[in-house]
Amino acid sequence: MSRRVIIGTAGHIDHGKSALVRALTGVDPDRLKEEKARGITIELGFAHMQLPSGTLAGIVDVPGHERFVRTMVAGAAGIDIVLLVIGIDEGVKPQTREHLDICRLLSIRHGIVVLNKRDRVDDEWAQLQQEDVRDFVRGTFLENAPVLEVSALTGEGIPELAIAIDTVAATIPGKDPLLPFRLPIDRSFTIKGFGTVVTGTVAGGSVRTGEEVVIQPNGPMIRVRGVQVHGSGTDIAEAGNRAAVNLQGAEKESAPRGAVLCRPGDFRPTRSIEAVIEYLHQAPKAMKSRDRVTFHSGTASSPARVVLYGQSELPPGGSAIARIELSEPFILMNGDHFILRGFAPLANFGYTVGGGTVLVPYPPKRKGAGRVVPPVLDDLNSADLPTRIQAVLTDASTTGADDRDMPVLCGANIQAVRKELDRLAGTGKIVRHKQSNGYHYWHSEAVGDAGRILVAALTGLHARLPDREGFAAETVISGTNLSVDPALANLALMSDPGVERQGDLYSLPGKRPRSVELATPFGLSIEGTVNRAGLAGLSFQELAESTSRPIDAKLFERTLGGLVREGRILKIKEMYFDPASVDALKDKLTGYLVQNGEITVPEFKDLIGLSRKYVIPLIEYFDLIKVTLRVGEKRMLRKVT
């Protein structure tokens, strides 16, 4: 496959960005009647060309007017090479400065300065502008970039520009095809006979014809009907490709600019992030904690509030760690770049006030948030992947993280992350638990901390309930203030040499579980009552009241617990169900999902013919045992890998 790069224009209004694209490609990127009538770019324009070496280049042409910088930021997402276009007759202007800062804040590292309209000036003026422009880009990523004089009108310098682009393109490593797939949508439209088509630059991973994708943050799950890359049909679009994706069964309105195409389960929408931010030195005053801004990332934007950590205000030219509270949901991962814009223009500049890098896409609530910088955030900003992995799991505490979460939380591809996870697990720095679809991970310190708390709770349970046979992990957890998965509780308790286990029960030395006779008429009566109830589960109280004679409360509790441990009764939440009936329902639900692809709670309610009292615990049970995967308000059949 030929190399592919994405080129983006940047620069002040009327400096000839669109004309330059026409001169390079023969394609007019201004497609709207209003654009042609007014002679200015309003919307993003697109073109493509083949460079002299054979490299295929997609070109994104952006508006230069300050009113359309939001659109410019959307177009800049995914750019490999920026052409900073400066009218040689006018020189550097406000949007020239603002666009350059936007490109820098978005971590664009390659570019060419294009002095357009060479036909309008003499040699002496051109030489002066060369010197001014060199001063302007000094200290930026364009300091050593080529500065070329061209005329989009006469064609002067255009062949040399194509060669320069080709030379820069050869140095670009390309985007990571192993990251989770994301395509920020910058345009959607309908083609008669084909349906909805969305376009954008693939930010990571790849997508193939026939695959299932979801339109995040709130769109439907659909199938890819077809793919084009740089105007040509293909079966796959990879990271760094400019792609058009034909979506089967999606409405245009469900895929607006700002939405993101990705795979089900890879990303969760977020309205809050933690990040390192940079405040531009052009700002006339300090940014105060809780100031409002406009947040731009990918092709989306939203009002937001910045909560500074460890300081009450940020001076111009400073940087800080902050929590950013978003008015709209975004699809983000560690390492993503963003732009912050204000609500009033800066003198001779524009509205951009700063930008930054995402550290935590799904931050937890933190005690004293705003007063101090949580130490873990410095490690999440590290360039070292093992450091970021351990920081992610330290931050996740007893919640931990799944295989599928880790690339998003660490900002790295799944192969690199798994390699480091295997290594760290081998050293004992992290602990993992095998699941049906991969592993769940915790930092070893979190497991140790949880173990000490759980053993203390187990000690207390024995003191309060000396006649109990032992305690299930869930019961031990309930005696703490921990929010932990039973898998972690089992790992933590089993790792303590002073804890004994028999079946599913844990006890301390000298408190070994006593057996309970389940085949007595009393035990069979309890089991029979639950069997007859089927899917209409019974609570502890309802089951106790169903007995026909006075009972010994401790004997009833011990017998019921024994029936649950033996698998003769299934406990879901605080209700008791017939296992055979639940197994039959699992088969029925699986068949429904194979045929229909997804199911909502109301549809599940119709499927089993019972009230929400039973429907919700049962559907959440199927989520828990990995039969179903929840995506928004729907469930789909989980694919075991």
Asked if residue 175 is part of any domain, the answer here is no
Single-letter code of the amino acid located at 581? S
CATH number reported for the structural domain that contains residue 111 in this entry: 3.40.50.300
Confidence grade of residue 1 (pLDDT, cut at 50, 70, 90): very low
User: Which domain CATH number covers 537?
Assistant: 1.10.10
Nearest to 278 by CA among 338, 319, 323: 319
**Domain shared by 255 and 302, yes or no:** no
Quick count: other Cβ atoms within 10 Å of Cβ 613? Answer: 11
Mean pLDDT of 185-202: 87
Please indicate, yes or no, if residue 45 is contained in any of the structural domains. yes
pTM: 0.76
Beta bridge partners of 629: 636
The answer to whether the Cα torsion of 535, 541, 542, 547 is positive or negative is positive
Residues 478 and 597 in one domain: no
**Both 335 and 442 in a single domain?**
no
pLDDT of 32 higher than 60 = no
Sign of CA dihedral 523, 527, 528, 530: positive
pLDDT over 70 (residue 310): yes
pLDDT tens digit string along 481-533? 887 888 888 899 988 888 888 778 888 886 654 555 677 788 888 889 999 99
Q: Mean pLDDT over residues 246-252, rounded?
A: 88
Where is the domain boundary, 577, 597, 624? Answer: 577
Residue 176 lies inside a defined structural domain of this protein: no
Residue 572 forms part of a structural domain: yes
**530 and 504 in one domain?**
no
Q: What is the per-residue pLDDT for 513?
A: 45
Whether residues 115 and 67 share a domain: the answer is: yes
Give me the pLDDT at residue 41, please. Answer: 40
User: By percentage, how much of the chain surpasses pLDDT 90?
Assistant: 53
Confidence class for position 59, pLDDT limits 50, 70, 90: confident
**Token duo for residue 20:** 């330059």
Asked whether residue 399 is assigned to any structural domain, the reply reads yes
CATH number at residue 186: 2.40.30.10
- Indicate whether 110 belongs to any domain: yes
pLDDT of res. 315: 96
In a domain, 174, yes or no: no
Residue-wise pLDDT for 138-155, tens only, equals: 999 999 999 999 999 999
pLDDT at 408 over 80: yes
Same domain, 254 and 330: no
Whether residues 564 and 479 fall in one domain = no
The residue out of 144, 169, 194 marking a domain boundary is 169
- 576-631: per-residue pLDDT in tens? 999 999 999 999 999 999 999 999 999 999 999 999 999 999 999 998 888 999 88
Same domain? For 159 and 222 the reply is: no
Is 401 part of a structural domain of the chain?
yes
Name the nearest CA neighbour of 263 among 195, 327, 211, 331: 211
Q: How many domains does the chain have?
A: 6
Does the structure show a pLDDT above 60 at 39? no
pLDDT in tens, 339-353: 999 888 787 777 899
The answer on 206 and 80 residing in a single domain is no
Residues 116 and 49 in one domain: yes
- CA angle, corner 540, sides to 538 and 544, nearest 5? 95
> Is 263's pLDDT higher than 90?
yes
Same domain, 318 and 341: yes
Domain termination residue (choose one: 142, 169, 196):
169
Average pLDDT over residues 458-477: 83
Residues 593 and 622 both lie in one domain: yes
430 has pLDDT over 80: yes
Residue-range definition of the domain harbouring residue 49: 4-169
